[in-house]
Chain A
């Protein structure tokens, strides 16, 4: 076991720091949160800068324009950009971290060359159409229909929780192509051009008042069959392939941010009980940081993060909510106005963490079945 980074990794870190110091001051001011057109321009401008500096698609293989970086370099990149308060991945999230990696793993040569370079350069923004009003934790029960009509699919249905749906160019959509098959076996993965006729995007308002998520209504939307990624009815497997690209680094930015917020909160603490809880929070987030390093070490050693990686999402999201609750209690009546106070916003924002991308209860089912080997839930 070794905490120090290799000379090559430290060199990578130093180059990145130099670039961040030179680049960040030249960024235009961040647009208002709800100005989606401006936000898209700002986030994709950042992506373009990353691309030109050779930092876009860090974990992508070099043959697809990525850097082919090691899991540890990926961790260093996220750690340094977050510490430097560089822009978050923002509207590029789905393209660079989910749809892009899926295309790399499962796309045809045409699909790859049409999309991957544009995603990396920030020319193309993607959204995700997986969840439906009736298919949340039980995602495989999704009902949006795709019926074959010659060399097209005709889509009808409703999606929900599409991040950045209102400004996306393309969407990764899961649709039902065989309603008679078992629910996991009748799903296909489609590239949906978001400007196709019959698509209506309605922003949702979250508990924060923000509107980064949308509902998407599909009425007789025609999509070429050539937009399907993977075989027909094999979409469930295709979407599960994607997860392997984060290699234990999924929560690096979040952890670095939380450790900063803990430092911000510390001077405000006067109560001995709060102080003890903050000490406990610090231990917990230091532990999560060590757990992340362990996942990344396992990914570097064995190709995939092991048990450490399986528990990080659950442990992080629950811990971050406890920290958010502590923030409100420390601030007391100063918490009654958000007004840009990150420590107040923290409590509201973190409500989503134990729900999105696998609710804590689903995470516990998965951990108890896949790691502990207990009997499976009905599926």
Chain B
């Protein structure tokens, strides 16, 4: 039993963090997702970790760092569909039948992968049309309102769709964990330097306690996400679905709550476009809609015996 990072995982984490820090500074992140970003992430091996022999525990460690850097784009879909679907792949998990669907990053995509109860479907992105929202919730996650997705090629059965929901939830939770971590770091850094009443605001208990709670949520989410990764690497152990569900709930909540707390610590500046915190909070809201929300999993039989 060991839920601490191995030396190899520390090296993997530091390697990806250093790559992201060097090439994806916040100015580039703010410019949004594009093909160059996809290619660079692909060249760094972000999407092919599974094919390259890395386990799920390794993959969540890498995806946590994508969250820390606030990297936009269809990262999870790209990872799940790697090797099965060509080009830039976005995804929709479990669309409600008959309803109008939002597709994220549609203009940048080659394919859209749809997961439903019958299986996994690959659609040609260029055949999908709709109205691009002029004002998406997350400015780095453009959304297109699509009347009908149309049908595509079935590339996997219901079992694959089920597995992808599980894998997608774990990777999404890992990104959310990274968002929660970065919000904590940004807020701590600001609280240590911003002065009011002739003192750093981080010396006031009202602020310190907000920050301490952010750390607690992050550490709890990290334990849950790493445990989910370790469960996925050892699927014969009981409790896999429960571990993934718990990770999605705790990391999703931590990202949203820490985004809110960081906004509060930044005060008026936290309500500006200039400060990065809103990008993290908005991404956290977007990710909550992927692969089952916190509420969805809290209600699910994975977490409450019916």
Contacts and interface: CB of A to CB of B under 8 A. Distances in A.
Interface of A: 1-6, 9, 72, 75, 263, 266-267, 269, 272, 275-280, 282-284, 286-288, 290-291, 293-294, 296-298, 300-301, 307-308, 311, 314-315, 361, 363-365, 367-369, 371-375, 377
Contacts of B171: none
Interface of B: 1-6, 9, 57, 188, 191-192, 199-200, 202-203, 205, 208-209, 211-213, 215-216, 219-224, 226-227, 229-231, 233-234, 237, 242-243, 245-247, 249-250, 294-295, 297-300, 303-305
B305 A266 contact: yes
A5 B220 contact: no
Contacts, number: 170
A275 B3 contact: no
Contacts of B222: 294, 308
Contacts of A369: 208
Secondary structure call for the A interface: helix
A3 B4 contact: no
A286 B246 contact: yes
Given A290-B226, A315-B220, A279 B297 contact: yes
B5 A1 contact: yes
A287 B246 contact: yes
A372 B215 contact: yes
By Cβ-Cβ distance, the 9 closest A-B pairs, closest first, are A279-B298, A368-B208, A279-B303, A290-B227, A375-B203, A291-B223, A364-B212, A290-B223, A283-B246
B243 to A, nearest CB: 7
Contact of B212 (A272, A275, A286, A314): A314
Interface centre among B231, B237, B303 (most CB of A within 10 A): B303
Interface centre among A282, A287, A300, A374 (most CB of B within 10 A): A287
A287 B208 contact: no
Given A3-B227, A283-B297, A361-B205, A371 B3 contact: no
Given A1-B9, A275-B299, A279-B303, A367 B212 contact: yes
Given A1-B3, A374-B208, A287 B202 contact: no
Contact of A1 (B230, B237, B303): B230
A294 B222 CA distance: 10
Contact of B300 (A72, A269, A279, A371): A279
A308 B1 contact: no
A290 B145 CA distance: 40
B4 A297 contact: yes
Secondary structure call for the B interface: helix
Given A286-B243, A297-B3, A363 B299 contact: no
A269 B304 contact: yes
A35 to B, nearest CB: 37
Interface centre among B3, B209, B211, B227 (most CB of A within 10 A): B3
B224 A286 contact: yes
B226 A280 contact: no
Nearest to B208: A368
Given A1-B2, A368-B211, A315 B216 contact: yes
A78 to B, nearest CB: 14
Contacts of A279: 249, 297-300, 303-304
A294 B192 CA distance: 29
A3 B237 contact: yes
Contacts of A3: 1, 3, 227, 230-231, 234, 237
A290 B3 contact: yes
A293 B3 contact: yes
Interface centre among B212, B245, B299 (most CB of A within 10 A): B212
B1 A297 contact: yes
Given A1-B233, A372-B215, A375-B192, 4 more contacts: A280-B249, A287-B220, A314-B212, A315-B220
Given A1-B4, A1-B6, A294 B223 contact: yes
A368 B208 CA distance: 6
Given A284-B250, A297-B4, A365-B205, A275 B220 contact: no
Contacts of A290: 3, 223-224, 226-227, 243
A374 B216 contact: no
Given A5-B1, A282-B303, A311-B219, A294 B226 contact: yes
A263 B300 CA distance: 15
Contacts of B224: 283, 286-287, 290-291
A301 B220 contact: no
A1 B57 contact: yes
A17 B211 CA distance: 43
B219 A291 contact: yes
A287 B3 CA distance: 12
Nearest to A76: B1
Interface centre among B4, B205, B221, B231 (most CB of A within 10 A): B4
Contacts of A294: 3-4, 222-223, 226
Nearest to B254: A287
Contacts of B305: 263, 266-267
Nearest to B298: A279
Contacts of A278: 303-304
Given A3-B231, A368-B211, A371-B215, A283 B299 contact: no
A272 to B, nearest CB: 8
